[in-house]
Amino acid sequence: MDLSRFPRRRYTQGFTPLEHLPNFTKALAATCPDGAGPNVWIKRDDMLGLTPGGNKTRKLEFLVADALAQGADTLITCGAPQSNHCRATLSAAVKEGMKCRFVIEERVPNSYKVDASGNNFLFRLLGVEAITVVPAGTNMLAAMQQVAGEVAGLGRKGYIVPGGGSNAMGGLGYVACAQELQQQFFDQGVQIDKIVVGSGSSGTHGGLLAGFLGNHIHIPLIGIGVSRDPADQNPLVHKEAQAVCDLLGLGITVSADAVVSHGNWWRPKYSVPNAAMVEAVQMLARTEAILLDPVYTGKIMAGLIGLARQGHLKPDENVLFIHTGGAPSLHAYEAEVLGLVDMPA
């Protein structure tokens, strides 16, 4: 597939590392039936460019290029109070000499605090122009359009970046990732049997699926939902994958069966910690010195651990974990991730 016909900004030099996790693999195996578990690998998209990396960078390379091509001078996006996507979008705006505004949705009531640590601190440090806070259930597109109107009233031009950067244009970032992985598997002589990826706003999961279909990569993708169960999540991923395939003109009809996700590890609510997440964050930090976050990657890795213990990930399979970043929000959940407070299982 040729992505060169789409404008693209480059925020990362070279490929992100593809690494084996020997210490984590051993620790996980010790907790699995018969003391045997999968060989775990990691794709370090936490090391992508923009402060300080994460999966949104790949999407923003295409979205920001589109914004600039349209003459925009202000990026407008939305997310939750500790949104990695908002932070990455703001970082891209700084790089490009643009302004940036957010609409923050309090999915958990009273969870936004202007002086909070984590990504909220980075919002202020990086110089977000304005933040509009709205209650859960707000029509986020309408709220962003209102902000775009305010920007237009100042004689400027806003560009709305969808939540999570998840639309067909943003999904091209993970088509590019699929091509990158294919090259790394060849260069490093690695055979991967299954891939575990986070499934939230659907851009990463759906874009990667489209990239795999278009590049004939026949490796099962297993999504771990961070906010929804499969009945609600899978249609979103399917829609995103189809939209990306259509944008690329692949002539592919994405099968509903190609979308696989699990929803057992996100509860009790989106962004609310649980014990399985804490175990996952601690295990990877204490075996490989790699940081996960409490909202996304911690729960996604909890899913990988759970699937291994349940036998869905077989002993001696090579399983790749896509690390989508998010470490700044660790600092907003210090007591929880250190296990100093009680929380749901």
Q: 261: buried, middle or exposed (CB in 10 Å: 19+, 13-18, 0-12)? A: buried
Helix (H, G, I), strand (E, B) or coil at 130: strand
Going from the first residue of the chain to its last (345 residues), give the mean pLDDT of each consecutive group of 10, the final group possibly shorter.
94 97 98 97 98 96 98 97 96 98 93 93 97 97 98 98 97 98 98 98 97 97 98 98 98 97 96 96 98 97 98 96 96 93 85
43, 198, 266, 274, 336 from 269: Cα distances, Å? 27, 16, 6, 9, 15
* CATH 3.40.50.1100 residue ranges for the chain: 18-53+167-337, 56-165
Strand order in the sheet with 130-135: 130-135, 99-106, 74-79, 158-160
Could you give the CA distance from residue 17 to residue 41 in angstroms, rounded to a whole number? 10
3-state secondary structure string across 149-217: HHHHHCCCCEEECCHHHCCHHHHHHHHHHHHHHHHHHHHHCCCCCEEEEEECCCHHHHHHHHHHHHCCC
Two structure tokens written together for 105? 């949705």
Cα atoms found within 13 Å of the Cα of residue 114, Cβ hemisphere only? 5
Output the pLDDT for position 108.
86
Could you tell me the two tokens for 9? 């900004």
Of 174, 166, 148, 180, which Cα lies nearest the Cα of 226?
166
DSSP-derived 3-state class of residue 103: strand
| DSSP secondary structure letter of residue 231 | H
Residues acting as catalytic residues: 83
- Residue range 18-53+167-337 forms a domain whose CATH class is alpha beta
Tell me the CA distances in angstroms from 86 to 163, 229, 249, one per residue in order.
8, 24, 30
Residue of 183, 164, 149 lying closest to 74 (CA atoms)? 149
Residues 6+ apart with CB under 8 A from 184: 15, 18, 190
Query: Distance between CA 268 and CA 298 in Å, rounded?
Result: 14
The string of pLDDT tens digits covering residues 292-345 is 999 999 999 999 999 999 999 999 899 999 999 999 999 999 999 999 998 888
**Residue 7 and residue 35: Cα distance in Å, rounded?**
49
Q: What letter would DSSP give residue 258?
A: G
Question: What is the DSSP pairing of strand 99-106 with strand 130-135?
Answer: parallel
Task: Compute the distance between CA of residue 121 and CA of residue 127 in angstroms, rounded to an integer.
Answer: 10
Torsion of CA 99, 103, 107, 113, to 10 degrees: 60
Indicate the fold that domain 56-165 takes in CATH.
Rossmann fold (3.40.50)
Q: What is the pTM of this model?
A: 0.96
Convert the pLDDT of each residue in 79-103 to its tens digit: 999 999 999 999 999 999 999 999 9
What is the pLDDT, as a whole number, of residue 209?
Answer: 98
Closest by Cα among 197, 151, 265 to 58:
197
